[in-house]
Every structure is written in C-alpha cells, then in structure tokens.
Structure 1
Amino acid sequence: MSKYEYSNEIVDVVKKFLADDDWNYFFDEETGLFHFGLRIRSKIQKLNYVIDVHEDEIVTYGISPVAADSDDPEMMRRMAEFICRVNYGLKNGCFELDFEDGEIRFRSFIDCKGLLPSMEVVKNSVGCAAITFELYASGMVDIIFGGASARDAIARCEEATAEKICSVLEEALGGDGSDQPHVRMDLFEAEGGEA
C-alpha cells in the first residue's frame, strides 16, 4: 500500500500551530491526519478534531461525540432540516450529517494551492468549528434528546446568542439597551430561522 500524498510543508505549519498552543495531538504519517480534542462551552462539551492535510489543501473537521439516531427517520429529518437552516448564510464552513450513522460534524476548508497557510489561518479553521458548535450544539441536543422541531431548536439557539450579544453590548455601552429595541430583532435576519 502506498503512502497517502500530502504536503510536508503544510504539515509543518499545522504542527507548529498545535505545538505553539500546547495542543495534545496525534499525527498519522501514513494518512496525513491530525487527531485531537477540544473542550467547548456547550451542551456537547467536547469536539473531536481531524485535520486532513492534502498536497494543496487542508480540511478541518470538528466532530460531535453525540450523534443523531440514524434508525429514527423522523429525528434524522429534523436534524437535516436544522443543519440546512444553520448552514444557510454561514460564511466559513458548514455542518454535515452522515445519514448512515448520524454523525454530526463541522467542516472547513483552506485552499493552499501555491501558498502555505499562516498559523492564524489554521487557528481560524479550528476555531470556526468550535464557535459554530458553541452557538448551535444546544439545538442539536434539543432535537436528539428532547424531540424538538428544527425551527424551535434553531430559534432557541439564536435567542440565546442574541441574549449574549445584548449582554455584551449593554456592558460595553454602560446601559440596559432599552433604548435600542431593534437590536435583538435584527441580529438573526440573515440566519436559517425565520426573521
């Protein structure tokens, strides 16, 4: 069996990023895959990461340890709808749902054709999955364990995020935000939920 083709230079950038930030990781030289975990502030609590290095690209996966039940067609339908609604409007990356086993993951891509990515670009790729899971993991859990509809789950995620944003704005502006009632309504008009 031949060795998988990947760029050693790109691997070195990823290794440097992980080493400089004191990540505990495993690199498989046969496949060009990095494996590590990350604790996040959400109901899921931890993501399993795979960074897949190719000759001219990097694909980063943040994988949920909690899966949808692939034997429950109604749950899979609700989760697929939820993921489609969340993905609509995302600028960097997307959620994916495996209909065979219910795995939920977030994928981001770095085009490295003709250049090496900076460590900041690699960091953003890893961080993007974590932040997006932090925003939407509670909706996934609501669907898996609570039987929530996709619309209700996404509405709760967006309401919680709007509350966090308003709290930060109130603290930064030194007020209670009562004179800015339009802020909350406008926060998620471009998201997958209804405006």
Structure 2
Amino acid sequence: MPSKEELELCFREYLDRDGLHAMHDVPRDVYIFLVECSVKVGTVVVEIHVLDERIVSLARCAMRVDANDSETMHRVSEYLQRATYGMSVGSFDLNFDEGEALFRTTLTCGSGLPCDDSLRMVIGMGPSMWAQYGDGFLEVAFEGADPKEVVGSSDAGMSVLERALAGEFDEDGDHGEES
C-alpha cells in the first residue's frame, strides 16, 4: 500500500511527464488546476488531494446556489443525484450550508502506484462531468428548470475527459478552451 509520500512523488512525476503545471498550495497541501469548460459554468477549479493510499479530486463550479432557498437547493440536489445515478466512478456533492456544488473522484491505490491513465482520469473526470451536466445545473439552480427534464438533455459529451485521457494539453499544461 503506497504512502502519501510515494503517491505524491508518483503524481509529481506524472505531471512532469505529461507537461502539466499545477499550483501547489503548500499550506493546504493541495494541487490546483484551472480547467476551462466550453459550457456556461466556464472555469472549473480542480483540487487534487494526495493522501495515504488514495488521490482525491474535487472539481468545483464557481457559481453557488442560494443556500437559503430550500426549494432550489432540493431541486439542484435532485438534479445532481439524477446526473450521477448509476456511475461507478465519482459523484456530485452539494454543500447545503454554502450552496457549493462539486464533483468528487477518488482513486484508491491500495495495491500499488497508479498508472498515467488513472492519474489522467482522476484529473479529467470532474471537468468532464461539469462539461456534460453544468448547463443543466445552471438551468435548475437559476432558471427553475425541472431536474427530470434537464438531466435527460445533458448530452454535451465527455470531451474534456477524452482529451485528458489522450494527453491533449497545451505546452503550459493548461487544458485550454474546448472546441
């Protein structure tokens, strides 16, 4: 079972190999990427937390739901649950105190160090899910749309994840805008 130090070294070496540049927030012990999505949510902040035996990715949308509006919070919660129903990797979380939504992915590494494809996936999964479901999130949160109707129409695809898995990043390591 890999330690935090072994996983962090593996992660940093992966970033170097793929030419990716993440800001390392040392006091919070987190790696941060800004990923531009072509949907209305715009820039998604991806935080990578390297821990003992696992790497956790949190992809946050900058827009928050009004936490004091319980009807909207419940509609958004329903939408996010419907969006990830049946997924085997990752899920949306909604903080009912702050109105913040994020997509969480955990890469467990109990049997050894992760391969590059797994590391690409843990970085790219959250932005990919925001690309696919972000417009629907905004429609439900700010336009009062019905979660059942919106989740069925969220078909923006998995292009951010597909690009991440293909290693398509610019020389600065930024994902850049999707086309």
Which TM-score band (shorter chain)?
0.7 to 0.9
Q: CA deviation at 1:144?
A: 2.0
Q: CA deviation at 1:30?
A: 4.7
- Confirm or deny: 8 A CA contact 1:42 1:138 kept in the other structure: yes
Q: State the match for 2:49 in structure 1.
A: 52
Q: Distance in 2 between matches of 1:127 and 1:36?
A: 10
Q: State the match for 1:101 in structure 2.
A: 98
- Confirm or deny: 8 A CA contact 1:35 1:51 kept in the other structure: yes
Q: Secondary structure at the match of 1:105?
A: strand
Q: Distance in 2 between matches of 1:124 and 1:47?
A: 16
Q: Does 1:42 align with 2:39?
A: yes
Q: Secondary structure at the match of 1:27?
A: strand
Unaligned runs of 5+ in 2: 158-179
Q: Distance in 1 between matches of 2:14 and 2:89?
A: 20
Q: Which amino acid aligns with 1:9?
A: E
Tell me which of 26, 32, 36 is aligned to 2:23: 26
Q: Distance in 1 between matches of 2:143 and 2:110?
A: 44
Please give the per-residue CA displacement for 1:66-123, whole angstroms capped at 9, x wherever unaligned. 1111111111010011011112111211011000111110011111124111121110
Q: State the match for 2:162 in structure 1.
A: none
Unaligned runs of 5+ in 1: 1-5, 162-195
Q: CA deviation at 1:18?
A: 2.6
Q: CA deviation at 1:16?
A: 2.4
Q: CA deviation at 1:65?
A: 0.8
Question: How many pairs does the alignment contain?
Answer: 156
- Confirm or deny: 8 A CA contact 2:32 2:47 kept in the other structure: yes
- Confirm or deny: 8 A CA contact 1:78 1:150 kept in the other structure: yes
Q: State the match for 2:170 in structure 1.
A: none
Q: CA deviation at 1:23?
A: 3.1
- Confirm or deny: 8 A CA contact 1:32 1:54 kept in the other structure: no
Q: Distance in 1 between matches of 2:18 and 2:127?
A: 16
Q: Distance in 1 between matches of 2:25 and 2:4?
A: 13
* TM-score, with structure 2 as normaliser: 0.79
Q: Secondary structure at the match of 1:71?
A: coil
Pick the structure with greater CA Rg.
1
- Using CA pairs under 8 Å that are at least 6 residues apart, name the structure with larger relative contact order, 1 or 2: 2
CA RMSD of aligned residues (A): 1.9
- Residue 22 to residue 40, structure 1, CA distance change in 2 (3 Å): farther
Q: Distance in 2 between matches of 1:18 and 1:37?
A: 15
Q: Distance in 2 between matches of 1:148 and 1:128?
A: 25
Q: CA deviation at 1:156?
A: 2.4
Tell me which of 143, 147, 162 is aligned to 2:144: 147
Q: Tell which deviates more after alignment, 27-36 or 73-82.
A: 27-36
- Confirm or deny: 8 A CA contact 2:95 2:101 kept in the other structure: yes
Tell me which of 130, 133, 148 is aligned to 2:127: 130
Q: Distance in 2 between matches of 1:114 and 1:157?
A: 36
Q: Secondary structure at the match of 1:48?
A: strand
Q: Distance in 1 between matches of 2:24 and 2:97?
A: 27
